[in-house]
Every structure is written in C-alpha cells, then in structure tokens.
C-alpha cells in the first residue's frame, strides 16, 4: 500500500516535471526525482530478450526503441543489410547547431548459455550489495532516493541497454529542465554487436550520407575502475589464434618412451616461454614494431587518472603485476595473452602418457598502428625462425616425419585497434563538456584494454570516435549475473545530457 502511494507520488512528480519543469531544476535533480521512471524503462527493456538466438526479441526491441524516439520528436528509421537485425537510426536537428553528433549503442545482449545465473536473466532483480551475499530488494516499494550502490541484475542491463536508457533519460531531463540540445542529434543503435557486427560496415557504407556527422560517441564498455565518469579515446584490436602442436600419432607410455619421443605439452610450454617474458614483453621480432607510442597528451591523461592499482591488486588476490607500469600504461602496449592450454590429463585424468597433441589459445591485443596481417606475418616468421613447420590443417604422416616441429595455426578473423587523438579540438570539447556535466574531473582513457571494433566506423566514416561508457567495470560483462550499478546509470545520464546540451567546438 505504501509502495503504491510512493509509486503514485513519483509518477505525479514525473508528470509535473515533464509538463512544466521548474526553470532552475538541474539534470541531477531531475533524475533524483525520476529514479523510478528511469529504472522502470531499463526494467522493461531487459525483459525483452533481444539476443541473437531470438530474432523476434531483436525485432520487438527495435520497434520499442522506434516508438520511444518517435514520442520524443525524433525521426526514426530502421537500417539493415542482407536481412540483418535492424539498426535503429533517428535524427533530431537543433536549429542553429553547427555540429552533428551520433550516439552509438547496441540493444542486443550476450547469449545466456554460459554458466549459472542467480535469477532469470530476463526478469530483472535489484540487489543490495552490502551483504556478502547480495539480497534482492523491492525497488518499486522503496520510495525516496534509492541506494546508489544497488544493482539491477539482468542480461544486457549493463551491456548495453543502460546506454540507451541514459540517452532517452538525458533527453527527457534536458527537456524537463528547459534546456536545448547544442548539437544535431543522431542515434545509431545496432542489434548485432554481440555477434561481431557482421553487417555494420555495409550499413555504414550504404548510409554514408545519412550518417554524416562531426563526432560519434560510442556508448559501450565499462567506466574506469575508480568509478569516475570516463571517456575513452581508443580501444585495442584483437586477433585470436588456436595453435596445435603434434607429438606421436597416439598417446605413448611415458615410462617406455618419455625422454625420447618428444612431448607436445613440453614443446608448447617452451614455445609460449619463447613468445613472451614474465613481464608481458612480447619477444616476437617485429610484432610490436608498428605500435604507435603514447604521446604527451596520452601520458598526461594517464598520469591524471585516479590510482586504482592497489585496490585492484587486493581484489584480484595477486602478489605482483606484470611490468613496472600502471594498468593504463600497460594497456597502451600490444599484448599476447594465453587464453587456454590443453594437453593430456591432470589430476584424476592424468595418464602416464606422452600426449598425442597439445593445443593452446592466444589472443593478441593490437594497438594502433599494428595490422592483423602484420601480426600474423611476424608470428609466422618467428615460428619459422624457431624451426617450426606451420600447417593449416592436421598434418599428414609425411609432414610429421619430415619436420621435427609441426604446428597447426587456426587464425580467427581479428581486427585492428583505433585511437582518436586526445589533443584534437573535438576531443578537448568532449572532455570539457563531460567534466562540466559530471561536476568533477573525469577519467580520460587514451585506450581501453578490451576490444571494440572502432576500426569499422573509422574505416567507413573517417569521423572522430570517442567512447562514452556507463557500465560499472564489475558488471559481469558477457558472463552470468550481468548487472548495472545505479550510480553508474545516474552518472551516465548526467554525461549524456552534457554531450547533448553542452558540446560546442
């Protein structure tokens, strides 16, 4: 009953602010007063399972977004290529504005197949995080200002529906607080980012005129671990590889033949040790040669970041870090990560055998101006130099007998990294407006460690790209129990409002 009354109060307040906003109300005041409305919208979005496995869910989500945009006066349309999930595009020009800004986000979520969720991924649950095992809370009945540490759990709540909710809420806040956008607004919300955006380049190319703009803001990815509102100016590219090393045709008794028949697990270990040292430095000649070094503006931005290393070290339970640099600097370098390695058996599965093969999985993280082809070429040249014979399929007997070291490489597609120069006028304008909107210095990240295919936009559009993340870094991205921290949503609304109403360059 109380909850019902409180809900009614919020609704009235919202209606009041929407129809006749007090002229002095700030964006922050608006969202304080409209928390329930904002969360309801996210809740509604999460309940619609817009994942690759559910084309109807993707369609339904696109239609719901078209409706949300239309009722705000935007001119929406759906873009697609080759029957792809629809891109929700919409525009709203601002009279007198000289700049056009596109807000990118994606409304599709990761699959929900992997691992165990504490609750249905499509029935959002708010949880109070203060206790060691978070407790579900009824936010609708809570009333007043909600605990900003509460988190809403559900697939795509953080990645990436939060960005869409922040955009819509920020626009509502601008209107309600009597302000006007300072730029022409565009939205570009795609529906297959989690599937690798296979049609994105085609859609961008086919709609180049429509998408002409001065800036793209990429509303995806996590904010800095300090929880400071953040911008990122680039992201590393990625290139995956499965490598398989061959031993005897079948496993052999390692008592009878160990020490004489080469063991592929040992060979894999030696090769990995040859590839990178204990500080993460890549030992493959030429692989990192093309990497663009951080400039003075990048270094200054990194120096100004809140120090989070000690907190992370404690929360990860690690006794050292690789390299002597902080996290943000280490991310500016190319990386060679071992995602997995497998050979024979361990523990209860251990047999006294030389395994027939050993395989391992690498992902290379690329920085500008490394290329996928360049990394592949350096790696394969390094293998040849070390005496490896490279094959693309399982080797036949003749190949095995001819070559002392045979390795099969299965490259994944991969894509390069990208960085927008921090010192450009547009970059400085975005940094300034974001700081003003946040009311404090923001975290300016020259590069995200993770990969976002910014190269696709850059390759087609040749327009500056800047990352505008909202989600907490600990959002359980791509994993079970994805969640969005409420304060991140509030900060995101402020930032989006700043990007709509405060940008001028």
Rg of the chain taking only CA atoms, in angstroms:
25
Q: With respect to a copy of itself, which residue has the nearer C-beta, 31 or 151?
A: 151
Q: With respect to a copy of itself, which residue has the nearer C-beta, 257 or 505?
A: 257
Residue 262 makes contact with a copy of itself by CB under 8 A: yes
Alpha-carbon distance of 69 to 89, in angstroms, equals 9
Task: Name the one range near a copy of itself by CB under 8 A: 17-25, 125-133, 211-219, 258-266.
Answer: 258-266
Structure tokens at 126: 């708010």
Q: With respect to a copy of itself, which residue has the nearer C-beta, 99 or 400?
A: 400
Residue 254 makes contact with a copy of itself by CB under 8 A: yes
- Residue numbers 173-232 binding a copy of itself by CB under 8 A: 222
Min separation Cβ 251 and a copy of itself, Å: 9
DSSP state of 319: S
Residue 384 makes contact with a copy of itself by CB under 8 A: no
Alpha-carbon distance of 379 to 334, in angstroms, equals 13
Alpha-carbon distance of 163 to 160, in angstroms, equals 6
Query: Is 109 in contact with 447 (CB distance < 8 Å)?
Result: no
Output the CA–CA distances (angstroms, integers) from residue 288 to 81, 184, 464, in the order listed.
36, 40, 25
- Residue numbers 324-383 binding a copy of itself by CB under 8 A: 327, 330-331, 333, 335, 337-347, 349-355, 358-361, 363, 365
Residue 406 makes contact with a copy of itself by CB under 8 A: yes
Q: With respect to a copy of itself, which residue has the nearer C-beta, 202 or 313?
A: 313
Other beta carbons within 10 angstroms of residue 33's beta carbon come to 18
Structure tokens at 182: 């300072």
Residue 493 makes contact with a copy of itself by CB under 8 A: no
Query: Is 475 in contact with 483 (CB distance < 8 Å)?
Result: yes
Determine the 3-state secondary structure of 125 from DSSP. Answer: strand
Min separation Cβ 422 and a copy of itself, Å: 20
Q: With respect to a copy of itself, which residue has the nearer C-beta, 38 or 353?
A: 353
Alpha-carbon distance of 170 to 217, in angstroms, equals 14
Residue 428 makes contact with a copy of itself by CB under 8 A: no
Min separation Cβ 273 and a copy of itself, Å: 4
Min separation Cβ 268 and a copy of itself, Å: 7
Task: Name the one range near a copy of itself by CB under 8 A: 82-90, 179-187, 289-297, 399-407.
Answer: 399-407
Query: Is 411 in contact with 239 (CB distance < 8 Å)?
Result: yes
Give 361's contacts (C-beta < 8 A, 6+ positions apart). Answer: 240, 241, 242, 243, 338, 339, 340, 341
Query: Is 167 in contact with 220 (CB distance < 8 Å)?
Result: no
- Residue numbers 280-319 binding a copy of itself by CB under 8 A: 280, 313-319
Alpha-carbon distance of 70 to 90, in angstroms, equals 9
Q: With respect to a copy of itself, which residue has the nearer C-beta, 261 or 300?
A: 261
Query: Residues touching a copy of itself: how many (CB under 8 A)?
Result: 88
Min separation Cβ 480 and a copy of itself, Å: 12
- Residue numbers 430-449 binding a copy of itself by CB under 8 A: 448-449
The one among 205, 257, 290, 441 contacting a copy of itself by CB under 8 A: 257
DSSP state of 222: B
Residue 487 makes contact with a copy of itself by CB under 8 A: no
Alpha-carbon distance of 329 to 470, in angstroms, equals 22
The one among 64, 78, 81, 261 contacting a copy of itself by CB under 8 A: 261
Min separation Cβ 202 and a copy of itself, Å: 25
- Residue numbers 45-74 binding a copy of itself by CB under 8 A: none
Determine the 3-state secondary structure of 483 from DSSP. Answer: strand
Residue indicated by tokens 């020490």: 259
x-or-dash pattern for a copy of itself, window 264-283, by CB under 8 A? -xxxxxxxxxx-x-x-x---
| Closest by Cα among 337, 326, 327 to 366 | 337
Residue 397 makes contact with a copy of itself by CB under 8 A: yes
Q: With respect to a copy of itself, which residue has the nearer C-beta, 89 or 382?
A: 382
């Amino acid at each position: 009953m109380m909850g019902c009354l409180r809900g009614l109060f919020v609704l009235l307040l919202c209606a009041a602010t929407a129809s006749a906003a007090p002229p002095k109300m700030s964006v922050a005041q608006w969202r304080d007063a409209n928390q329930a409305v904002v969360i309801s919208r996210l809740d509604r979005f999460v309940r619609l399972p817009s994942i690759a496995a559910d084309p109807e869910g993707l369609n339904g989500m696109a239609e719901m977004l078209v409706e949300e945009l239309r009722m705000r006066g935007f001119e929406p349309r759906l873009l697609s290529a080759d029957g792809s999930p629809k891109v929700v595009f919409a525009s709203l020009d601002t009279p007198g504005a000289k700049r056009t800004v596109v807000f990118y986000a994606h409304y599709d979520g990761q699959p929900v197949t992997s691992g165990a969720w504490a609750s249905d991924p499509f029935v959002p649950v708010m949880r109070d995080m203060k206790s060691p095992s978070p407790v579900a809370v009824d936010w609708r009945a809570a009333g007043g200002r909600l605990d900003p540490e509460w988190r809403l759990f559900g697939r795509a709540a953080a990645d990436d529906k939060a960005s869409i909710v922040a955009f819509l809420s920020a626009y509502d806040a601008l209107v309600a607080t009597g302000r006007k956008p300072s730029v022409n607004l565009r939205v570009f919300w795609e529906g297959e980012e989690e599937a690798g955006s296979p049609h994105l380049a085609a859609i961008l190319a086919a709609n180049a005129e429509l998408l002409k703009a001065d800036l793209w803001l990429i509303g995806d990815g996590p904010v800095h671990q300090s929880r400071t509102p953040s911008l990122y100016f680039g992201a590393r590219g990625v290139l995956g590889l499965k490598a398989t090393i061959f031993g005897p045709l079948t496993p052999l008794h390692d008592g009878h033949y160990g020490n004489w028949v080469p063991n592929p697990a040992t060979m894999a270990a030696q090769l990995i040790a040859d590839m990178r040292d204990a500080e993460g430095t890549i030992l493959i000649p030429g692989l990192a040669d093309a990497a663009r070094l951080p400039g003075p503006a990048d270094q200054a931005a990194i120096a100004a970041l809140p120090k989070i290393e000690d907190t992370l070290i404690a929360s990860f339970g690690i006794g050292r870090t690789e390299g002597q640099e902080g996290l943000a600097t280490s991310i500016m370098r190319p990386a060679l990560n071992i995602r997995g390695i497998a050979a024979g058996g361990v523990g209860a599965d251990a047999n006294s055998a030389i395994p027939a093969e050993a395989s391992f999985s690498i992902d290379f993280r690329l920085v500008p101006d490394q290329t996928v082809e360049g990394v592949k070429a350096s790696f394969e040249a390094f293998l040849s130099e070390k005496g490896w014979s490279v094959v693309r399929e399982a080797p036949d007997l003749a190949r095995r007998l001819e070559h002392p070291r045979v390795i099969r490489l299965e490259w994944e597609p991969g894509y390069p990294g990208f960085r927008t120069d921090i010192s450009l006028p547009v970059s400085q304008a975005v940094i300034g407006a974001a700081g003003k909107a946040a009311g404090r210095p923001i975290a300016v990240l020259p590069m995200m460690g993770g990969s976002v295919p910014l190269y696709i936009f850059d390759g087609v559009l040749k327009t500056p790209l800047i990352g505008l993340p909202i989600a907490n870094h600990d959002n359980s991205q791509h994993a079970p129990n994805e969640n969005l921290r409420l304060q991140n949503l509030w900060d995101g609304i402020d930032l989006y409002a700043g990007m709509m109403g405060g940008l001028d360059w």
